[in-house]
Structure 1
Amino acid sequence: MNDYTSASVPKENRVVIDPVTRIEGHLRVELEARDGVIKNAWTSTTQYRGIEVIACNRDPRDVWAFVERICGVCTGTHAIAAIAAVEDALQYPVPIQAQLIRNLVSGALGIQDHVIHFYQLHAFDWVDVVSALKADPRETAKLAQSISDWPMSSVEYFAGVQKKIKESIAYGQYSIFTNGYWGHPAYKLPPEANLMAVAHYLQALHWQRDMIKIHTIFGGKNPHPNFLVGGMACAINMENDQTINQYAISTIQQLIDTCHSFIHKVYYPDVCAIAGFYKDYFHIGAANPNVFATGDPSEINTGAPAGKGMIKPGVLLGGDYKTVIPFDQNKIAEFVTSAWYEYSEGREAGLAPYDGQTKADYNGPQPPYTWISDRPQYTWVKAPRYDGHAMSVGPNARMMLGYAQGAAPIVERANELFDRLGLPRDNGLFNSTYGRTYGRALDAMINVDMMVEQMKSFVRRIKNGDTATFNPAKWEPATWPKKCKGVGWVEAPRGSLSHWVRIENETVANYQCVVPSTWNSSGRDAQGQMGPYEYSLAHTGQHPLIDPAQPIEPLRTVHSYDPCQSCAVHLHDETGSPIHTHQDP
């Protein structure tokens, strides 16, 4: 039975954050808070996604171009998952060079996404911009130079950044720093660290513009690069200026080298440095004690060679973060108990993605409304479950699996940080608010190192005459079975992403997307289990919330997931005006 206790929450204890900004999409959080802590939580995605309906009755070779538009932030990820699903259904092998290109595009996307998440979307949960005005640029330079040899770390540089901030604030033009909770007692960084972080925030804006060039070279454009069932839409020819040639290869190598330097010398050191001031957040905001990751499509799907291979598919259940259980995709089912959808089998049923239904059934209040979680249905997000368990996915889940599997690059770096902070060598620390933040930075390190090796392999194969990027063997529908089904798995920036397709008579008969933010932002299921967002905020009854008018502590936890509600849902629905509404910066 569901326990919808929000109906009895006194109005004076209600806190609503709507919209949660600095995310992709529309997310509303309703909290019961008293005595400085959160007692209960409900997360509502106030958008409707109808993309599965749009994908049906189409040529399977075209679907990637439609579902890729689910989101422009994790651009390309949905296309790769869609293509992998079709290739899995058709048992369609892909040339190794094409798979390497997909891996390089995915790697570039994931790293760029992690950097944007930390600096542009999450950093101001930890960094007080106004405090940076009090910093001594000489001390900031000394601090920056102590953690890496990044060249943009001079006294003059930091003094220039501080001057820009002062001039902007002096004229009352906070610009991108508007609506911050500056001066909040939950901020702990000294002024010099704040100035360094703000400077790197500005550097990240410039850096990420270059990173997307990898997408444009391999995929023709950004956002929404071009892909192809059976391979990639780009050709390799050293003698042609319209293909992947020596100039393109040199440019990509330079971009990867620059990326490697930024991750190793700026992003990862910043996340580790800030961790020292927020060690308590390694013990705050734990999600459900169940995680899974699928590694790479080659580890799940047939016909997808050249996988990354470091992290193997696996599951960690019940807080046992040492015992890896084999992953079984047939144990996944989606529930709509608390969602504005209907199933022909009833709301208490759980459907496997191959049999999934996307039938909107909005029965919530008409806006403007003040409180929506006092009803059984309160969100547009379904509740996926693995063997009945509410699961958390994400970069931290990947790191937890890799740690448990003994992946040396993960174990060694994580242990180094844990030792430095005086924390136990425990991969369970990743299941926390700052653990998720650190997990992203470590994931970026792993991926950029991997990209260096993948690029070497890509170039080496070209030198050996391997230039094939497309396999025509099963392109024609006449070669397909009358009925088939497939699933495409991709470890996206926010976690395990899957697209599920049924093909009948050369046409898509059913299509379902089960995305990371669906797993993480799901509402209560038929057993009353909270999804990870809700669980992270409410399961202990002790998550801090000092000032309901400036809810920085719950925002730290929600932002640590990097919510992408446009992936969890799609089309826009109305929002209302709750009793306490706060727009975070």
Structure 2
Amino acid sequence: MANRVVVDPITRIEGHLRIEVVPKNGYIKNAFSSTQMWRGIEVILQGRDPDDAWMFTQRICGVCTTVHAIASVRSVENALQLEIPYNAQMVRNLIIAAHALHDHIVHFYHLSALDWVDVVSALKADPHKAAKIAESYQNWKLNGAPIFKAVQDKLKKFVESGQLGPFANGYWGHPAMKLPPEVNLIAVTHYLQALDYQRKADQAIAILGGKNPHIQNLAVGGVSTAINPDNEATLNMERLYYIKQLLEEVREFVHNCYVPDVIAIAAFYKEWLKYGRGVDNYLAVPDLPQDTKGETFDIYGGTIFGGDLSTVKPIRSFNDPYFRDNVVENITHSWYRGDWTRHPWDEETVPNYTGMPGGYVNENGKYSWTKAPRFKKDGTHVPMQVGPLAQILVSYALGHKLTRKYVDSALEQLKSVLSLLGESSDGVDINALQSTPGRHLARALRAQVLSDLALKQWEQLVDNVGRGDLEIYNPPSYPAGEVKGVGFHEAPRGTLSHWVVIENGKIKNYQAVVPSTWNSSPMDDKGQHGPYEASLIGNPIAEPEKPLEVLRTVHSFDPCIACAVHMVDPEDGSEITKVKVL
């Protein structure tokens, strides 16, 4: 098929994702997102004990293990209207926050930064000049000419050996790369430092969860993390203070390195603030519950339509019908039997793979394993973008104090860096976040908020234990007949919900509507593109043979793996090259 550029699989992600775009006159005219792998966890769960579901759902993904465990236990608890002890909520909240901090750091530095950073260019940098530049926009303790020189020497050895290690096979020298060598050196240095700080967040999860990935401490009704300040075999004060130390170190990195780095890259690529908006309906759910019933939260949730923050409508609790009643999924273009739009509780999961006749997406047929989640608005079903951008916009619109503080501060910092670069800051406001670099900044800001809130959850847990409350578990009881529940969680990649139907104490139906399903969805029965597809349309593409710009925007969503890229000659449809990319 003529006029198709195929990137399959998209690399530096979890899972197998194929993106097809139609280029015209240097821009993308149309785009299609096709997920290429099916797991079938929903089918595996049918007939099983609801208490065990969270152990299975963690295996949906090798990265997002914790988040599926959380959403799963919440779905069963919601069906039973089961209250969760305060200590258990705080332990869960600490795991949620630490996991998100780990995930956000890894996403920017290790999965996405290399779309913007020319690693090989860093060899040309002056380490002393790099130190002055870094000092101008951030206050990070591990900057300085000697540190930058050491990293440059290490990178030089990689290049001279012919083995670039993790930096092999990138689009180095691509015309869309525009950072000065010194800024590239700063970014490569922080890439390496970030490896240590994401590990600190992982350590906190492992202490609380027993292991990571695939935590072991959850239970329907609470946690199995025994708490006793005076017992060496439990979560005691020594372990709690070590967790606090780890979270404080991660917070310092997020505030003083991560956020300023994202702001600097957004400034150097200011023109990208007008690309990648796509679907501007946003969905987020509240999280970090502050009570036993899940009615008050430290993170806000809601919807925004048309990118207009004044349309914000909150989602207030785990039982809020606004969320529960308005989520549906469509399978018109998905490899499942039938052609329907249904609420998750009423869905079936019957695979029906028909392939891609001709080897390319047929926009009139089925082309993805992903369903198309939609949200009911005024009697119609509309696509929604989920993720840190959605959560930051919703929280800002609802007046979340920490979010407003850090968003306003970041926008002022962005204007300041633009001024240093001699660039205008016209149009740099909250709406600038609705873009490809804006998603990265929103994710960094979410990490900033969570790094503060993580320490708050820690203080609340320690204070409560100090008052003598050591309760961690409320045992569930399953009634005869049928009950339904939904458990949601604002995961690092966005709104995650698990929907369960329980009959006589066994799982009758189970559906997981995950963030990357919302974002990677194919078209629906009305021809509405999902967020990945819509965000690519109108983007530049300088060299179809090296579609770096496609990677930039898709990666900004943090799709939830890696190997090779196939590219298609837009003139005659033939494969012109096959390269491995980072």
Partner in structure 2 of residue 384 of structure 1: 373
Q: 1:394 aligns with which of 387, 390, 393?
A: 387
Q: What is the RMSD computed on CA atoms of the aligned residues? A: 2.0
| Equivalent residue for 1:406, pick from 399, 403, 407 | 399
- Say which of 91, 116, 127 aligns to 1:101: 91
Q: How does 1:127-276 map to 2 (within 5 A)?
A: 127-226=117-216, 227-276=218-267
Q: Which amino acid aligns with 1:315?
A: T
Question: In the alignment, which residue of structure 1 is the partner of 2:482?
Answer: 483
* Equivalent-residue separation in structure 2 for 1:525 and 1:504 (angstroms): 31
Task: Determine if contact 1:321/1:427 at 8 Å carries over to the other structure.
Answer: no
Structure 1 residues 306 and 336: alpha-carbon distance in aligned structure 2, compared to 1, 3 A threshold: closer
Amino acid at match of 1:286: R
Measured in 1, the distance between the counterparts of 2:15 and 2:432 equals: 28
Question: Conserved in 1, the CA contact under 8 Å of 2:14 and 2:63?
Answer: yes
Q: 1:374 to 1:355 in 2, by over 3 A?
A: closer
Q: 1:233, CA displacement in angstroms?
A: 1.1
Q: Give the 3-state SS of the residue equivalent to 2:337 in structure 1.
A: coil
Q: Structure 1 residue 74 and structure 2 residue 64: aligned?
A: yes
2-side partners of 1:326 and 1:221: how far apart? 35
Q: CA deviation at 1:426?
A: 4.0
For the pair 1:563 / 2:559, whether they are aligned, the reply is yes
Q: Secondary structure at the match of 1:510?
A: strand
Question: Aligned to 1:187, what secondary structure does the other structure show?
Answer: coil
Paired residues, what number? 552
- Aligned equivalent of 2:581, options 576, 580, 584: 584
Q: How does 1:319-468 map to 2 (within 5 A)?
A: 319-327=307-315, 328-329=322-323, 330-343=325-338, 347=339, 349-365=340-356, 370-373=359-362, 376-387=365-376, 388-419=381-412, 420-421=414-415, 422-424=425-427, 426-468=429-471
1 CA distance for matches of 2:428 and 2:166?
38
CA contact (8 A) 2:544 2:567 kept: no
Secondary structure, counterpart of 1:309 in structure 2: strand
The CA deviation at 1:303 is 5.0
Cα distance, 1:415 vs structure 2: 2.6
State the partner residue of 1:115. Answer: 105
Of residues 275, 288, 304 in structure 2, which corresponds to 1:316? Answer: 304
Q: Which residue of 1 aligns with 2:421?
A: none
3-state DSSP of counterpart to 1:444: helix
- The farther-off stretch of 51-60 and 323-332 is 323-332
CA distance in 2, matches of 1:410, 1:73: 26
Alignment partner of 1:284 is 2:275: yes
- Structure 1 residue 424: Cα displacement: 3.6
Q: 1:80 to 1:255 in 2, by over 3 A?
A: same
Instruction: Tell me the residue number matched to 1:528.
Output: 527
**What is the one-letter code of the residue matched to 2:486?**
V
TM-score (norm 1): 0.91
- Do residues 62 (structure 1) and 52 (structure 2) align? yes
Structure 1 residue 547 corresponds to structure 2 residue 543 = yes
Relative to its length, the structure with more strand (as a share) is: 2
List gaps (5 residues or longer) in structure 2: 316-321, 416-424, 569-574
Provide the rounded CA distance (Å) in 1 between the counterparts of 2:436 and 2:371: 23
Q: What does residue 572 of structure 2 align with?
A: none
TM-score by length of 2: 0.91
- Residue 269 of structure 1 deviates from its aligned partner by 1.1
1:80-130 deviations in whole A, cap 9, x for unaligned?
100000000011111011001101100000111000000000000110101
- C-alpha contact 2:112 2:556 (8 A) present in aligned 1: yes
Deviation at residue 371 of structure 1 after TM alignment: 1.7
The answer to whether the Cα contact below 8 Å between 1:296 and 1:490 also exists between their aligned partners in 2 is: yes
1:306, distance to aligned residue in structure 2 (A) = 8.2
- The 3-state SS of whatever aligns with 1:213 is helix
Q: Is the 8 A contact 2:277 2:435 kept in 1?
A: yes
1:496 equivalent in structure 2 = 495
- C-alpha displacement of 1:215: 1.5
Change (3 A) 1:370 1:577: farther
CA displacement 1:393-437 (0-9 Å, x = unmatched):
000000110111122322233233334432446433222111111
Aligned equivalents of 2:453, 2:295: Cα separation in 1: 12
Q: Which runs of 5 or more structure 1 residues have no equivalent in the other structure?
A: 1-9, 567-574
Most deviating of 206-215 and 423-432: 423-432
User: Given the superposition, is the C-alpha separation of residues 224 and 423 from structure 1 closer, same or farther in structure 2, using an over 3 Å criterion?
Assistant: farther
Work out whether residues 16 and 29 of structure 1, in 8 Å CA contact, stay in contact via their aligned partners in 2. yes
> Conserved in 1, the CA contact under 8 Å of 2:282 and 2:307?
no
1:167 CA drift (Å): 1.0
State the Cα distance separating 1:209 from its structure 2 match.
2.0
Other structure's SS at 1:48 match? coil
What do the CA deviations read for 1:351-383 (whole angstroms, capped 9, x no partner)? 1001111110011148xx642335511110000
Greater mean alpha carbon deviation, residues 520-529 or residues 426-435: 426-435
Counterpart Cα distance in 2 of 1:307 and 1:124: 39
The alpha-carbon distance between structure 1 residues 184 and 156, as it changes in their structure 2 partners (threshold 3 A), is: same
Partner of 1:17: 7
Deviations 1:488-526 (A, max 9, x none): 010000000000001101100100000000000000100
Question: Conserved in 1, the CA contact under 8 Å of 2:288 and 2:298?
Answer: no
Greater shift in the superposed pair: 149-158 or 241-250? 149-158
Q: Offset of 1:283 from its aligned partner?
A: 1.0
| Aligned-pair CA distance for 1:287 | 2.1
Q: Which residue of 1 aligns with 2:319?
A: none
- Letter of the 2:335 counterpart: W
Say which is worse superposed, 105-114 or 287-296, in terms of deviation.
Answer: 287-296
**What amino acid is the match of 1:318?**
G
For 1:451 and 1:505, locate their aligned partners in 2 and report how far apart those are by CA, in whole Å: 38
Secondary structure in 2 matching 1:333: strand
Measured after TM superposition, the shift of residue 487 of structure 1 is 0.3
> 2 CA distance for matches of 1:100 and 1:482?
32
Q: Percent identity, aligned pairs only?
A: 45
Shift of 1:298: 4.2
Q: Which has the larger displacement, 425-434 or 385-394?
A: 425-434
